[in-house]
Chain A
Amino acid sequence: MNTEFQWRSEMRKLGGDVEPAHDLWPNIAAQIATRSTARNRLQVAFAIAATLIIAIGAGLAARRGNWQMPSADSNMASAPTAMDWAQPRDTKLAAAARDLDDASAQLQQALEQHPDAVFLVGLLNRANGQRMRLLRQTSYTGA
Chain B
Amino acid sequence: MDGATLTLDLPLTESVAPNADSALVHRAASGDNAAFEQLYRSHVGRVHGVILRLLGMDRARAEELTQEAFVRAWQKLGSYRHESAFSTWLHRLGVNTALMELRGRRDEQAMDDEELQAAAGGEVPFCAGERADLERAVAGLPPRARAVLVLHDVEGWKHEEISVELGMAVGSSKAQLHRARGLLRRTLGGEA
Total of A-B residue pairs, C-beta within 8 Å: 86
Enumerate A1-34 residues with CB–CB distance to B below 8 Å: 1-4, 6-8, 10-22, 24-25, 27-29, 31-33
Question: Which of B45, B46, B48, B71 has the most chain A CB within a 10 Å cutoff?
Answer: B71
Question: Looking at chain A, what size class is its interface with the partner chain?
Answer: 20 to 34
Q: Tell me whether B153 and A8 are in contact (CB under 8 A).
A: yes
Which of A3, A33, A35, A36 interacts with B126 by CB under 8 Å? A3
Within the complex, the shortest CB–CB distance from A83 to chain B, in Å, comes to 43
Interface residue total, chain B, C-beta cutoff 8 A:
38
A69-99 interface mask toward B, CB cutoff 8 Å, 1 = contact, 0 = none?
Answer: 0000000000000000000000000000000
Of the stretches B17-25, B30-38, B100-108, B113-121, the one at the interface is B30-38
Q: Is B161's beta carbon under 8 Å from chain A?
A: no
With A15-B155, A20-B66 as known contacts, state yes or no: A32 contacts B49, CB within 8 Å.
Answer: no
Q: Tell me whether B154 and A25 are in contact (CB under 8 A).
A: no
* 24 A-B pairs in the complex with CB atoms less than 8 angstroms apart: A6-B126, A7-B125, A7-B127, A8-B153, A10-B128, A10-B129, A11-B134, A11-B154, A12-B153, A12-B156, A13-B134, A18-B45, A19-B48, A20-B48, A20-B59, A21-B63, A24-B44, A24-B63, A27-B67, A28-B67, A28-B71, A31-B71, A32-B74, A33-B33
B residues near A (Cβ < 8 Å) are 31, 33, 36-37, 40-41, 44-46, 48-49, 52-53, 59, 62-63, 66-67, 70-71, 74-75, 125-129, 131, 134-135, 138, 149-150, 153-156, 181
20 additional contacts, CB 8 Å, given A19-B44, A19-B48?
Answer: A6-B128, A7-B127, A7-B153, A12-B154, A14-B135, A15-B53, A15-B155, A17-B45, A17-B48, A20-B48, A21-B59, A24-B44, A25-B37, A25-B41, A27-B67, A29-B33, A31-B67, A33-B33, A35-B71, A35-B75
